[in-house]
Structure 1
Amino acid sequence: MTFPQEYIDFMVHFHGNRDYFECHEILEDYWKEVDSRNKDSVWVGLIQLAVANYHHRRGNFNGALRTLKKAFQIISSNEVLIQQLGLDSNLLLTQIRARVADIEKRHEYQSMNLPIQSNQLLEQCKKRSQELQMAWLLESDLTNNQIVHRHKERDRTNVIEERNQAKQKKTNRRQ
């Protein structure tokens, strides 16, 4: 099976440099292309899993817990698709339950490895990590503020412009 390139890139960032923000960006764009109206899409569940790790690593336990519980709901309702994506769905759900318990107890963040059961997926991920000159299965570098606090580093000009345009359209409709 050939996996979507965006999924491979998500996996490489998730297990390589642990850039969960980039994981979110990659899969969100893909989700919008293939399943944008489905808030219960397997892609949304994986995005939320990355976002929960991002929040947990930054010490935002409330955000991590809320997001991880949403990810659990979506992933548990998409177990067949998770399996088709080369992951062990039972083990993944067990990992998420354990992570929820850790977050509830305010345990410090630990890097998470997704339970890859497909040798083909594993090989594609390793090959892509070499292409990107990124190590595979690194522990998260908690001193790398460019990754740990990436949302503070990004240019939000486009987001702000889009919000302002949406507000203006709403105002115009009311008038």
Structure 2
Amino acid sequence: MYPREYIQFLIHFHGDRDYFECHEVLEEYWKKTDSRNKDSIWVGLILLAVSTYHHRRKNFNGALRTLKKALTILIKQENSVKKLGLDYVQLLQIVEERLKLITSEQLYKSFNIPISDPCLLELCFATCEQFKFQWGRDSDMTNINLIQRHKLRDRTNVIQERNESLKMRKEADL
């Protein structure tokens, strides 16, 4: 009923609190299904995860900027939010609370995305167990690999793709 990538997003968001992985998983899905739509619900959820990643790292400017964009999209996508088994009203309340925390530069606190579909919640719990994650636990603030994931990841493929793209543009200009 729900895309596999969406389930993975929820598992990482609530299970291991790997917001970077949330972004990666859902961005790949968005690119395959709705890449031209910058107001896609997928973009809204991606931005929510990115904002949360920045907030946890005390990057308040980045967190605020991305959360404002996420909120704009979530407001536009009320029907999509509901179709994804989420509690729309509660989600907007949580995002507003997060905006206040970030604006006042208060430290990150883990939170859950409100799921209204009991079947989705049951599926998420079961999947979390398979991965040995504990649903709804707080972020491990001592795990540098989780907190600074963007700095520690292997960027070889990204750099290679960027160089190939640059080379193709230079050749096209000739």
Provide the TM-score with structure 1 as the length reference.
0.97
Amino acid at match of 1:3: Y
SS in 2 for 1:112: coil
**Structure 2 partner of 1:21:** 20
SS in 2 for 1:86: coil
Corresponding position of 2:130: 131
* Aligned residue number for residue 11 of structure 1: 10
Cα deviation per residue 1:44-72 (whole Å; 9 max; x = unaligned)?
11011000000000010000000001110
Q: Distance in 2 between matches of 1:6 and 1:171?
A: 36
Segments of 5+ residues of structure 1 without an aligned counterpart are none
CA RMSD of aligned residues (A): 0.8
| Aligned residue type for 2:32 | E
Q: 2:90 maps to which residue?
A: 91
SS of corresponding position for 1:72: helix
**Unmatched tracts of structure 2, length 5 or more:** none
Taking the aligned partners of 1:158 and 1:146, their CA distance within structure 2 comes to: 19
**Per-residue CA shift, 1:2-27, capped at 9, x if unaligned?**
21111111101101110000111111
Equivalent residues in 2 for 1:17-166, closer than 5 Å = 17-166=16-165
CA distance in 2, matches of 1:77, 1:162: 33
CA distance in 1, matches of 2:60, 2:168: 36
Deviation at 1:121, TM superposition (A): 0.8
Q: Distance in 2 between matches of 1:55 and 1:64?
A: 5
Conserved? CA contact 2:111–2:136, under 8 Å:
no
Q: Distance in 2 between matches of 1:122 and 1:116?
A: 7
Q: Secondary structure at the match of 2:16?
A: coil
For 1:60, the aligned partner's letter is N
Deviations 1:105-159 (A, max 9, x none): 0000011210111101100100110111111111011111111111111110110
Structure of greater relative contact order (alpha carbons < 8 Å, 6+ residues apart): 1
Q: Which amino acid aligns with 1:127?
A: A
Inter-partner Cα distance in structure 2 for 1:94 and 1:63: 20
Once residues 44 and 25 of structure 2 are traced to their aligned partners in structure 1, the CA distance between those partners, rounded to angstroms, is 14
Q: Residue 73 of structure 1: CA displacement?
A: 0.7
Q: CA deviation at 1:98?
A: 1.2
Regions of 4+ moved over 3 Å: none
